[in-house]
Structure 1
């Protein structure tokens, strides 16, 4: 069997080789030439390296080895991390106290964390309840707002209805006075005959009036004259005549407008006094006409009159007439005068 060199693994061609006394492996002639005198004791490099080292205490690099007593007492060269020295565990009381405090703090911290978790859960429940209440309140507010809007619309409609109803009532009240006229300026007398006075007055105006044309006739009290204490200072109460037909009333009024200087001369005994004949107005329209006359005078309006229950004013001739139906319409004439006391 051919031999091979254990170092270069090449076959050995001759008998020039060496055998390791330990591993019994073959090596080439190179090693035989170098160590030929030690052939019987020769060890290969591998076996030589595997042998334990010899004592190197005389090596100058290492310090001298201390005595066994010194080794046991001097612990400066002991490496406790590798287990070459004694292992002694010692914890000071201060560290033990600190650890106890840390454990107590950790315990308290756990309890606080648990309480925080409970609070978070409770806050989540409260938030859910608040959201539910908020949703309910929003729905309620929307419902209330809708009802308020409906109520406002209904109130506005009712206001319009009431306003229109008031207008209709005022119109009906004024229409009920369409056949009546008012005679102002004829003195009063306890023995007077109003029907005779009316007939005489119509004759002076050139209007033929039968007794059957008169429905009724009477004097009405005046608020302003009733406040006067002296009887001589009181104005005569106006005479109210209700005729059967409106045409007869309009005829008498037109005749009185044409006769500008119409007076009590020839109608009743006594001093001559001017007489005015007008159609009759409701209380509201009388107050409205009085205020209209005050404002027309203050704002230099030339004309102010009423016809068929409606009040008109005109600033100048040939200008359109302004119709007054309410207090608000008086602003078309001018603002109300403000006294110093009220201001």
Structure 2
């Protein structure tokens, strides 16, 4: 059987509401107008809005100015912190050197039975110094962290930096407590500085064995164009030995390069002093100039402290900072 196909019924959806079309075509339908707010109230609202905008703009300008000032202060503090960070890195290097030296001394204890007691004392002293330096470094690291986070008042930042610099200089000086600095020693190619130190000990009647010398080397001058020989820095095993060498050197009242076989001129005098930091050397130089100006008789360094005396019967004056230079006065004043 054949299937009969029927066409679908036409949709009358578009004719479901014929009244809509008729109503849209009616021309007499009235259109309603939107109501506007009262004119005075609208003007007052606009004026109030303008005032608020002006006030907010002024606040933004003040806030921007304050933020700029704060940013400038933070930049200044960060620059100072960079300097402190570099200095603390040097301190950390010195601490590592101390710990390395301590390890070397521990190994020497096993072979030097005759001097075991003295070496043990030196180890105890080095351990105490290392622990003290480590604790001080931790304290300064915490203070630097506070500076970075802004916990310290900006008005006190400069005073804190001066105090930190003073303490850091003190730590650097303490790390050099076993050091000697020899000046005006003629340089020679292929020189053996260790033998030179042994010869110097024989000359001043102080026995200096090779095991007593931790390190010895020359250092460049602060002024690169200086024609003087480079100074020699000697690090010995203990502060007691360092002080004995200094006392014997001063008791002999000078040593010349000719006596060590380094020069044919008897006037080439060699100087032996404590190894001071750069700031202490500068203070010592200024102190010598002022004592010379006011005809003071004595100026010397003992345990990294600068001491002056006007005459044999005058009291000793300690100069620890630039503020103390005012203590050096003309005579009878």
Q: For the pair shown, which has the larger CA radius of gyration, 1 or 2?
A: 1
- With over 3 angstroms needed to count, the CA separation of the structure-2 counterparts of 1:292 and 1:196, relative to structure 1, is same
CA RMSD across the alignment: 3.1
Aligned pairs for 1:122-137 (under 5 A) are none
Q: Unpaired runs of 5+ in structure 2?
A: 1-149
**Aligned residue pair count:** 187
**2:314 equivalent to 1:319:** yes
2:213 aligned partner: 214
Distance 1:263 1:239 in 2: 15
* Other-structure match for 1:181: 180
Q: Which residue of 2 aligns with 1:227?
A: 225
2:255 aligned counterpart, secondary structure: coil
Out of 256-265 and 199-208, give the one that drifted further: 256-265
TM-score, normalised via structure 1 length: 0.49
The answer as to whether partners of 2:254 and 2:271 remain within 8 angstroms in 1 is: no
- Secondary structure, aligned partner of 1:275: strand
- Gaps of at least 5 residues in structure 1 are 1-150, 229-233, 336-343
Distance 2:320 2:189 in 1: 39
Matching of residues 41-52 of structure 1 within 5 Å? none
Runs of 4+ in 1 over 3 A off after TM superposition: 153-163
Contact 1:312 1:323 in 2 (8 A): yes
Residue number in structure 2 paired with 1:264: 257
Q: Does 1:308 align with 2:306?
A: no
| Structure 2: distance between partners of 1:223 and 1:287 | 11
User: Relative CO higher for 1 or 2, CA cutoff 8 Å, sep ≥ 6?
Assistant: 2
Residue in structure 2 matched with residue 14 of structure 1 by the alignment = none
- Cα deviation for residue 161 of structure 1 reads 3.5
Deviation, structure 1 residue 264 = 2.1
Change (3 A) 1:289 1:269: closer
1:236 aligned to 2:247?
no
- Name the residue aligned to 1:299: 294
| Kept after mapping to 1: 8 A contact 2:213/2:234 | yes
Looking at structure 2, the residues matched to 249 and 236 of structure 1 have their Cα atoms a distance apart, in angstroms, of: 22
The residue that corresponds to 2:247 in the other structure is 254
By how many angstroms is 1:223 displaced? 3.2
Cross-structure match for 1:245: 238
Partners of 2:329 and 2:225 lie apart in 1 by 30
Matches of 1:247 and 1:290 in 2, distance apart? 26
**Cα shift at 1:156:** 5.7
Indicate the structure with greater helix content: 2
Contact 1:186–1:268 (8 Å) recurs in 2:
no
Is 1:283 aligned with 2:278?
yes
- Residue by residue, what CA displacement relative to the aligned partner does 1:151-192 show, whole Å, maximum 9, x if unpaired? 9x9456545443332221111010011110011122110121
SS at match of 2:269: coil
